[in-house]
Amino acid sequence: MNKCLTTFIALFMFTSYKAQSQPDMQKIVIHFKHVANGKSLHPDSVYQNPLGETYSVKKLKYYLSNLGFNKQVNTNISLIDAFATDSIKIMLPYPAKKGTFNFQLGVDSIYNCSGAQEGVLDPLNGMFWTWNTGYINFKLEGQSDYATTKTKHFEYHIGGYTGKNKTMRQIRLPYAGTDRTTQLYILVNLDNFWKGQSDIKISTTPVINSPGAIAKSAADNFSGLFSIIQQ
Amino acid sequence: MAGILFLVLLFFTGAYEKYGPTPLPFVVPKGWPQPPTNIFASNPSTREGFLLGKTLFYDGNLSRDSITSCASCHQYFAAFSTFEHSFSHGIENRFTQRNAPGLFNLAWKTSYHWDGGVNHLEVQALGPITDTNEMGETLDNLLLKLRNNPQYPPLFKAAFGDTAITTKRLLKALAQFTGNLVSAGSKYDQVKNGKDSFLPYEQKGYEIYKQYCSSCHSEPLFTNDKFSNNGLGLNKLNDLGRKRITGLSRDSLQFKIPSLRNLKLTPPYMHDGSMGYITQVINYYTVIDSSLPQLDPILKKPIRLSERNKAELLAFLFTLTDTSFTKNKNYAPGEHIIFRH
């Protein structure tokens, strides 16, 4: 609860600081391109992960929050569905010519512990655990002959918002564009989900469905998923 | 001029109040601590919100079979526990995995369920609504049913200002009902307020309670809201308790310390309902095997009670029964909201 309170205060101070220095805002469209094995992600295609396992993807959904250039961020939260979301539009100040484009993969802890939420955080989006309450920050589900489950189903529900096993990740992508950029293209490469700081092997871990050390190590691979496609 | 302005202002604020929901102040009983967090901080408690929450709580339509309501497991006459059932019946003859606790004084809890896996009262209801062993309903379908039920749009409007029916409002309304369930009218409370006195053997039982039980089942809520192991081993369902939430081996077989209030109304006892009678529980505490590895250190010191002491302790525990709670019309199905705190 205390943790909850401190985050809240921090968030509050942060947002009020922002409000003071508000430069020209404009609509930035962020496009997402989800790929595996260099091909667009499609629910009917079969891919091979870097550990040699073949699989198909039925669902890929994740939360992004605090998106923005350099120090300017927009605290809105977006729920990206690889098979439904091509792009999102957010209000941001004109970007500097270069720097970083930043965001957090996952939902700030305050929203995990302060009761019922709405919009993209509505539990009916299927991204909320009811038995160990909190958001699933990242959800990947599919089929693989390598999965040891009865139905050959694998699912990675990555969440957890406290302590050392928290799964939100700050992601910073080097960015170079013009100061009038209104479109940004982000590549989300699923190949890097399986291999990064740790290996996620379908044959040994077909299911991650609770906060903990395994979810944490899966989250450590998140930053490798994203890069900016320079136009 | 100023006078007229004042009158106009008065008229408007008066009219405004008439159409807005009426606040239902949450009253902390005399001598009780303030709740550790204000569960109504972003969900102002109002009569209309409470009434909506109550209507939902007693409505079988919240489940897939349209029969199982919250109240089918949390029974009004049993201080909102499932009377004499170790496990409760959900839809399609399924059973819950744990014993349904009584629902009262929830505003003082910082986590819910026997393993503390639920961090806020508002999100608690998502569990039973969607659990296949309980109400087995999807949120989409439930919201659809509520929107198509002529009873609900006006109730949501009265509580929240317009007829929109959303997950958030559903959860907030339920929390207004459950969060306002306060049980503080037992004989024990009357004694504390100087309106009654213990009989000599109840008084003796109170001393025994203070010596052996109060470090965990602490006054005035009769729980310190912490987790502990009182020696119960692993049950057939392999329920590891708190460990399921934290993943820590030191939390294995730790369960939320339940309140001792209204015990008489809430049999059977323990997270799995494995003890049917309070006498059985009292006996159990006198024979705990102190060599059990997970046992709370407080209970390593044997509790020695004569048969007479056991009867005295039992008599004291019976003074924690609050019949004003189980007869409170505010909480009963129907529309009686009178609220005299």
Report the Cα A212 to chain-centroid distance in Å.
18
Cβ neighbours of residue B293 under 8 Å, at least 6 residues apart?
Answer: none
Range of the domain at B139: 2-183
Comparing B86 with A211, the larger pLDDT belongs to A211
Residue B339 lies in a domain: no
pLDDT (mean) for B40-55:
96
Tell me what the pLDDT averaged over chain B comes to: 91
Question: For position B17, what pLDDT does the model report?
Answer: 47
Q: Which residues in chain B are closer than 8 Å to A134, comparing Cβ atoms? A: 119
Q: How confident is the model at residue A87 (pLDDT cuts 50, 70, 90)?
A: confident
Q: Total domain count for chain B?
A: 2
Question: For position B159, what pLDDT does the model report?
Answer: 96
B42 shares its domain with B175 = yes
Residue B138 lies in a domain: yes
B24 shares its domain with B173 = yes
Tell me what the pLDDT averaged over chain A comes to: 88
B132 in reach of chain A (CB within 8 A): no
B127 in reach of chain A (CB within 8 A): yes
Residue A212, Ramachandran bin (φ over 0: left; ψ between -120 and 50: alpha; else beta): left
Residue B262, Ramachandran bin (φ over 0: left; ψ between -120 and 50: alpha; else beta): left
Written as one string, the DSSP assignment of B248-305 is -GGGTTBEEPPP-TTGGGS-SBSTT--B--HHHHHHHHHS--TT-TTS-GGGGS----
Q: How far apart are CA B24 and CA B182, in angstroms?
A: 13
Angle, CA of A137, A185 and A71, to the nearest 5°: 70
Q: How confident is the model at residue B18 (pLDDT cuts 50, 70, 90)?
A: low
**pLDDT higher than threshold 70 for residue A13:** no
Residue B286 lies in a domain: yes
Quick check: A223 and A169 in contact, CB under 8 A? yes
Q: Which of B142, B165, B183 is the last residue of a domain?
A: B183
Q: Say which amino acid occupies B15.
A: A
Q: How far apart are CA A159 and CA A138, in angstroms?
A: 7
**Tell me: the pLDDT tens digits for A195-226?**
999 999 999 999 999 999 999 999 999 999 99
**Tell me: the pLDDT tens digits for B202-256?**
999 999 999 999 999 999 999 999 999 999 988 888 999 999 999 999 999 999 9
B228 shares its domain with B153 = no
Question: For position A22, what pLDDT does the model report?
Answer: 56
B41 shares its domain with B73 = yes
B192 shares its domain with B128 = no
B20 shares its domain with B100 = yes
Question: For position B132, what pLDDT does the model report?
Answer: 83
Domain chopping of chain A, boundaries: 28-229
For residue B150, cis peptide bond before it (omega within 30 degrees of 0): no
pLDDT (mean) for A136-164:
95
**Tell me: the pLDDT tens digits for A171-192?**
999 988 776 778 889 999 999 9
**pLDDT higher than threshold 60 for residue A109:** yes
- Complex ipTM, two decimals? 0.86
B193 shares its domain with B228 = yes
- Best mutation target among B114, B123, B129 (most A Cβ atoms within 10 Å) is B123
**Contact across the interface for B123 and A118, Cβ inside 8 Å:** no
Written as one string, the DSSP assignment of A136-199 is EEEEEEEE-TT--STT-EEEEEEE--SGGG---EEEEEEEE--TT--EEEEEEETHHHHBSSSB
**Tell me: the pLDDT tens digits for B286-315?**
999 999 989 999 999 999 999 999 999 999
Q: Which residues in chain A are closer than 8 Å to B106, comparing Cβ atoms? A: none
Query: What is the CATH number for B92?
Result: 1.10.760.10
Residue B275 lies in a domain: yes
**Tell me: the pLDDT tens digits for B164-204?**
999 999 999 999 999 999 999 999 999 999 999 999 999 99
